[in-house]
Chains A and B, each alone.
Chain A
Amino acid sequence: MHRIALVLLIVLTMLGTACSGNTPTPAPTQPASPTQAPEPTAVPAQPEQSGVLPEVNPLEVSGNVVTAGSSTVYPLAERMAERFYDEGFKGQITIDSIGSGAGYERFCKTGETDVANASRPIKDSEVESCAAIGRTPIEFRVGTDALAVVVSQQNDFVTDVTMEELALIFGNAAEKWSDVRAEWPAENILRFIPGTDSGTFDYFVEEVFAKDKEPHLSAANTQLSEDDNVLVQGIMGSPYAIGYFGYAYYAENTGTLKVLSINGIEATSETVDNNTYPLARPLFLYSDAKIMQEKPQVAAYINFFLAYVNEEVVDVGYFPASETALLAAQQAWVEAVQ
């Protein structure tokens, strides 16, 4: 009996020390944002409601919004949803990070979600599936990602690669670093790539492997995961590891990772804006007009997203979409809710 009391006493003391260890400042704080390589240039200083979108007051919006899709878009969506909550939204937003392909499935085949997050444009076959369940997807461009090819900070031999070398590094033709460039070490290349459901994967295969995924998937020493955090963890553990994912995941880990320049071009907001960085790709939200009309909270969420995304996108680690693209998205919104 006294043994149990002893256990309980220990338990209570631990609980007591835990609770008494309060810091005087209230808990909410922002995560450390280490200096980001591209300096932001095109960020509006004041929140200006562009004349196109009507203003939305989150305090008056409630209900649920179900979204799912790209793990690249996820950090951005999460940030916008939190801000939406912060400014008074009373309902519930769920965001599942499952890959663009899976997001389209849930939106177009099973009809489970209101909004699909994607890092690649919708395919024709997916549009057809949507039509089969009575949905017409509307595209909203929300930002741009510069696909980051990263190595660990411990890697001291690689700073720049060409597109052809990327195909060698991530394909099944080369096994060691020295197979790609003779001056690199004769060690196995440890590859960490997004899973096949990921829009990032599809994009990489399209740009680097001419849409043929077989050499990419059958390369030796490859680890796949839809969870980009797993990739980050793997890459930072070895100087001979390499991988790729959305820029935000690099931005969160600049202390342990190093981003490579492609064909001599670094990812900055200029190179992304004028498309000289070879691996710049758009980020989208997709929804349907009927959903937006039947569930006004979905329309409000998208409106809020489009209105304030440029204030948050750089802090998250991505790049703003071009002015024209954003304006087109806002126009699409206005047409959808009529």
Chain B
Amino acid sequence: MKANKDAIHLDTSGFTPNLPRRHRVGKLWLVIFRFATVVGLIALATLLLNVMNSAFGYVAVENKVDPDTLAVNGVELDDLPKAELVRILQENVSAGLFRRLENDEPFAERSRLDVYNLVLERVVEPRVVQQWSLQDSLFRRAQIEAEVAANYPKAELEFKSWLDKYFILNPQSARAERAGVRTAILGSLWTVGIAIVFAFPIGVGGAIYLEEYAADNAINRVIRTNINNLAGVPSIIYGILGLAIFVRALEPLTSGTLLGLADPTTANGRTILSAGLTLGLLILPMIIINAQEAIRAVPSSLRQASYGLGATRWQTVWHHVLPNAMPGVLTGAIFAISRAMGETAPLVVIGASTFINVDPNGPFAKFTTLPIQIYQWTSRPQDVFRNIAAAAIVVLVLLLLSLNASAVILRNRFSRRLD
């Protein structure tokens, strides 16, 4: 943009457009802005890759008992008949375990393959002695093989995905290889279920009141400000509140003794019910605010038309406003669910159990949730727990992503239908 010399000559002596420099500065800052965005994206990628890195990789597996030593009369373990396998099992496991296996299904009725797998699992006992990250596994394969040959001569190298079917189906265990997230997932589902059952009706009700019924007087202004403030309170405060109210003060109710559903000597308030109610309180402001926005977005012409036909306020709300606002309300609810599912701090304060491997059987059971499981496994120093923590993170993130994706789909589908 050079100055046109044939244009009108103004006295520009005091004014230097200095265009080239300004453009240079502009380009420099554009680079900075782009760089900032790239940094944000790199952070996201690093986060996800770091988790992936630990969730898959090579492992060196060693057998506690060498299968060759179990050969009978020169016949390898693989070829032994069922009777021999049963005998090997009986000699090598504890009497109580053998009794229990017999009780589960008598050995006479088990297939040979079944018994063979049992021998592998309980006698040969393959264990992971060393694990490597995905990055190492992909790029340093030769070095890993050399390391295994040097340090673990009896071990076999295989590629393991720490996130597999067994991981999801197994209950928690002290041994990392056997540990799974089933108890945690069920605990998460129970607590979030209770939270949404508690918070959704109350939240939508409150939003309806604030948008449809409330006059602009002092009390309602206070309520509005209050809800906005509550949305910004750290989640741990809700945990403390839940501890004081649900675990302590309302203990007869939350422990189940009031309804006679629990043993009074050892029941306490640290149950799924308390956890669910606390999470419900936490997501309540979020649901109210989202529902408010959705209700506000319904055009007033719809309401006016309804009033014009003689409908009462509640009829208008129930039959016209709410159905129109429902997609927005549901989307907000789903985002609230995904927030509740990822919360850890309030539940730690309330008291999730350290060791619990039985599925929750009702709202008065002790609980653990997926984020808490991840927290506990991350706190353990052994490397192998990093792997299963990463696998659990993958499960959690997938769960949340699918929840959020379904919310977005819902929103898109309904908004298109309205057009």
State the A residues within 8 Å of B (CB): 1, 4, 7-8, 11, 14-15, 17-19, 21-23, 25-32, 47, 57-59, 64, 66, 74-75, 78-79, 81-83, 85-88, 91-98, 110-114, 227, 229-230, 232-233, 236, 252-253, 256, 291, 294, 308, 311
A96-B355 contact given A19-B165, A26-B121, CB 8 Å threshold: yes
A96 to B268, CA, bound (A): 14
B97 with A86: CB separation less than 8 A: yes
A111-B265 contact given A27-B170, A29-B126, CB 8 Å threshold: yes
B161 with A26: CB separation less than 8 A: no
Interface residues on B, range: 35 or more
Q: Which residues of chain B come closer than 8 Å to A32, judged between CB atoms?
A: 62, 127-130, 384
Interface centre among A28, A113, A230, A308 (most CB of B within 10 A): A28
State the B residues within 8 Å of A (CB): 56, 61-62, 64, 94-97, 99-100, 103, 117, 120-121, 125-130, 158-161, 163-167, 170, 173-178, 180, 263, 265-266, 268, 353-358, 366, 379-382, 384, 394, 398, 401-402, 405, 408-409, 412
Q: Show 26 A/B contacts (Cβ-Cβ < 8 Å), sorted by A.
A: A4-B409, A18-B161, A19-B165, A21-B56, A21-B163, A26-B117, A27-B170, A30-B127, A31-B175, A31-B176, A58-B100, A59-B103, A74-B354, A74-B355, A79-B174, A83-B94, A86-B100, A87-B97, A87-B100, A88-B100, A88-B103, A95-B354, A97-B354, A112-B268, A113-B266, A236-B381
A1 with B412: CB separation less than 8 A: yes
B381 contact from A30, A91, A256, Cβ within 8 A: A256
A137 to B71, CA, bound (A): 51
* Nearest-CB residue, chain B, relative to A96: B354
Q: Which residues of chain B come closer than 8 Å to A14, judged between CB atoms?
A: 394, 398
B353 with A94: CB separation less than 8 A: yes
A31 with B384: CB separation less than 8 A: yes
Q: Which residues of chain A come closer than 8 Å to B170, judged between CB atoms?
A: 27
18 extra interface residue pairs, beta carbon distance < 8 Å, beyond A32-B130, A111-B265: A26-B121, A27-B178, A27-B180, A28-B178, A29-B128, A29-B175, A32-B129, A58-B100, A82-B357, A88-B99, A92-B358, A96-B353, A96-B354, A229-B379, A229-B381, A232-B381, A291-B265, A311-B94
A110 with B94: CB separation less than 8 A: no
* Nearest-CB residue, chain A, relative to B266: A66
A30-B64 contact given A18-B164, A88-B96, CB 8 Å threshold: yes
Majority SS of interface residues in chain B?
Answer: mixed
* Nearest-CB residue, chain A, relative to B366: A94
A227 with B379: CB separation less than 8 A: yes
Q: Which residues of chain B come closer than 8 Å to A75, judged between CB atoms?
A: 174
A92 to B355, CA, bound (A): 10
Q: Which residues of chain A come closer than 8 Å to B56, judged between CB atoms?
A: 21
A198 to B112, CA, bound (A): 50
Q: Which residues of chain A come closer than 8 Å to B381, judged between CB atoms?
A: 229, 232-233, 236, 253, 256
Interface centre among B161, B166, B263, B265 (most CB of A within 10 A): B265
A64-B100 contact given A82-B174, A229-B381, CB 8 Å threshold: no
Q: Which residues of chain A come closer than 8 Å to B100, judged between CB atoms?
A: 58-59, 86-88
B178 with A23: CB separation less than 8 A: no
A59 to B103, CA, bound (A): 8
A184 to B394, CA, bound (A): 46
Q: Which residues of chain B come closer than 8 Å to A21, judged between CB atoms?
A: 56, 159-161, 163-164
Q: Which residues of chain B come closer than 8 Å to A22, judged between CB atoms?
A: 161, 164-166
A18 with B125: CB separation less than 8 A: no
Interface centre among A17, A64, A81, A93 (most CB of B within 10 A): A64
B62 to chain A, nearest CB (A): 8
Q: Which residues of chain B come closer than 8 Å to A87, judged between CB atoms?
A: 94, 96-97, 99-100
7 residue pairs, one from A and one from B, having the closest CB atoms: A21-B161, A27-B166, A87-B96, A88-B100, A29-B177, A92-B358, A232-B381
A19 contact from B61, B164, B175, B180, Cβ within 8 A: B164
A18-B394 contact given A7-B401, A96-B354, A230-B379, CB 8 Å threshold: yes
B161 contact from A17, A64, A227, A230, Cβ within 8 A: A17
* Nearest-CB residue, chain A, relative to B264: A111
A11-B405 contact given A25-B126, A75-B174, CB 8 Å threshold: yes
A294 to B265, CA, bound (A): 11
A29 contact from B103, B125, B130, B402, Cβ within 8 A: B125
A94 to B398, CA, bound (A): 29
A11 to B397, CA, bound (A): 10
A152 to B208, CA, bound (A): 61
B215 to chain A, nearest CB (A): 41
A93 to B357, CA, bound (A): 8
B96 to chain A, nearest CB (A): 4
A10 to chain B, nearest CB (A): 9
